[in-house]
Amino acid sequence: MTKELLKGNVAFAEAAVRNGLQAYFGYPITPQSEALEHFSGRMIELDRVFLQAESEVAAINMVYGAASSGVRVMTSTSGPGLALMAEGLSYIAGSEIPVVVVNMMRGGPGLGNIQPSQADYNFMTKSAGHGNFHPLVLAPANIQEIIDMVGLAFELAEKYRTLVMIAGDGSIGQMMEAAELPPMQEISTARPAWAVTGAVGRAPNLITSLYLGAEKLEKVNIRLQQKLATIEENEIRWQEYETEDAELLLVAYGTVGRICISVLRAARQQGLKVGLLRPQTLWPFPTARINELAAQMQGVLVAEMSAGQMLVDVEHAVAGKTPVRFYGRMGGVIPMSAEILEAVKQVQEEVS
């Protein structure tokens, strides 16, 4: 095992390269520009495709084009750029092609600032564009995890022919940690049967999201929903920390999730029986497991860098079994473990 000290943005970019990424299209935006910069050197050096697009609108449509031909392709961005991709993301979902998008969330709404945030949770998990769809969303909490999730993202995207997003929260792009990169993977030259590659010896292929006739489009929608249902069945991922004997459950993801590990340690030291569930997939969400755990808890505390977006999903999961409380910071403020610990104590007091 050879670990390197890696910055999150560089780590996921290099992981993508080693996972056989064939093309990257993107537009600079803080706090993920180092990824684009890393791709700009590495992809060209490896004789693969790197192109800085004229905008995020163009970038996502370049990705759409490349993905239509069955190659491994991705882009990365942050809030405002993601918003500009909404139309393209919806087309990609409607066309059922595999695409991976990384969103390093920053403070919003609007131009906001460039500090870390988790306020695009709803945008990513509930819609990401018009129509009945949403991506599969992975949420890494450390550098090793974002590296591993890049590989997973491609795998899932291609397995289900679906849109996969990696939801970083700004800080994860900026921080450095020791982590191991995967070995360099050969690029597969094979293209899937559905891809547009020139109609040689077969009927022409078509990549489209247009389905004239309501019944036809309804069928497509039903297929999409079934696909999402299958994903929901198979791909829920999360990590638990000391939940066995816990009486109070922390739920947090990404950077806040790892901060809660510190909270948990401190709380345990003070004799509080705190456990932590850290969702690794934001959609599909570990609803059943949270519901199950809720039964043993005196309360649940959700911590987020948002106004309380995942909170709603946790409330839905807990389904009234135990009180759910929230601690959130916004606008780029990263909550300190001490603040969350305070909130834990408050919940503890309130419920006991």
Partner 1 sequence: MKHEETIFSGFGGQGALFAGQLLAYTGMAENLYVTWIPSYGPEMRGGTAHCTVIVSAEEIGAPIVQRPSAAVVLNLPSMEKYEPLIKSGGYLVVNESLIDIKSEREDIHVLYLPASDIATELGNPKMANMVLLGAFVTATGLVSLETIAAQLTAHLSGRQQQWLEPNKQALQRGAELVSA
Partner 2 sequence: MNTTTQIPENMELVYQYPDSMTKTYTHYCPGCVHGIVHRLVGEVLDELDLREKSIGVAPVGCSVLIYNYFNVDFVEAAHGRAPAMATGLKRTNPDKFIFTYQGDGDLAAIGTAEIIHAANRGELISTVFINNAIYGMTGGQMAPTTLPGMKTTSSPGGRDCKIAGYPIKMSEILAQTEGAAYITREAGTDIRSIRKLKKAIKRAFLTQIEGLGFSCVEVLANCPTNWNMDPWESMLWSKEQMTPYFPLGTYKMREEVKALKV
Ligand X SMILES: Cc1ncc(C[n+]2csc(CCOP(=O)(O)OP(=O)(O)O)c2C)c(N)n1
Positions in 238-297 near partner 1 (CB under 8 A) = 255, 258-265
Decide whether 84 or 293 has the Cβ nearer to a second copy.
84
Window 100-129: residues binding partner 2 (CB under 8 A): 110-111
Those residues whose C-beta lies under 8 Å from the C-beta of residue 167, and which sit 6 or more positions away, are: 103, 105, 118, 120, 121, 124, 137, 138, 139, 253, 254, 282
Question: Binding string, 44-73, against partner 2, x = CB under 8 A?
Answer: x----xxxxxxxxxxx-xxxxxxxxx-x-x
Bond into 279 cis (ω within 30): no
Per CB under 8 A, the list member of 41, 206, 316, 342 interacting with a second copy is 316
Which of 29, 136, 149, 181 is in the footprint of ligand X by CB under 6 A?
Answer: 29
330 binds a second copy (CB under 8 A): yes
**Which part of the chain contacts a second copy (CB under 8 A), choosing from 44-52, 179-187, 212-220, 268-276?**
212-220
Report the residue from 28, 65, 192, 308 that binds ligand X according to the rule CB under 6 A. 28
* One-letter identity of residue 234: N
* Of positions 134, 154, 169, 179, contacts a second copy by CB under 8 A: 134
What 3-state class would DSSP assign to 54?
A: coil
Q: DSSP assignment, residue 116?
A: B
Residue among 77, 80, 88, 96 nearest 223 (CA) = 96
Build a one-symbol-per-residue string for 39-58: x at contacts with a second copy by CB under 8 A, - elsewhere. ------------------x-
Per CB under 8 A, which region of 64-72, 110-118, 220-228, 298-306 contacts partner 1? 110-118
Cβ proximity to partner 2, 69 vs 117, nearer residue: 69
Size of the site for ligand X (CB under 6 A): 7
Cα dihedral sign for 50, 51, 52, 57? negative
CA dist., res. 292 & res. 308, Å (int): 22
Residue of 219, 234, 270, 350 that binds a second copy (CB under 8 A): 219
SS3 sequence of 123-187: HHHHHCCCCCCCCEEECCCCHHHHHHHHHHHHHHHHHHCCEEEEEECCHHHHCEEEECCCCCCCC
Q: Out of 27, 154, 160, 327, point to the residue binding ligand X (CB under 6 A).
A: 27
Contact (Cβ atoms closer than 8 angstroms) between residue 11 and residue 172: no
Residue 249 three-state SS:
strand
Q: Which residue type does 345 have?
A: K
Are 15 and 66 in contact, with CB atoms under 8 Å apart?
Answer: no
Annotate each residue in 180-219 with x if it binds partner 1 (CB under 8 A) or - if it does not, as one string: --------------------------------x-------
Interface with ligand X by CB under 6 A: which residues? 27-29, 56, 80-81, 84
Residue numbers at the binding site for partner 2 (CB under 8 A): 22-23, 25, 27-30, 33, 36-37, 40-41, 44, 49-59, 61-69, 71, 73, 80, 87-88, 91, 95, 110-111, 196-200, 204-210, 212
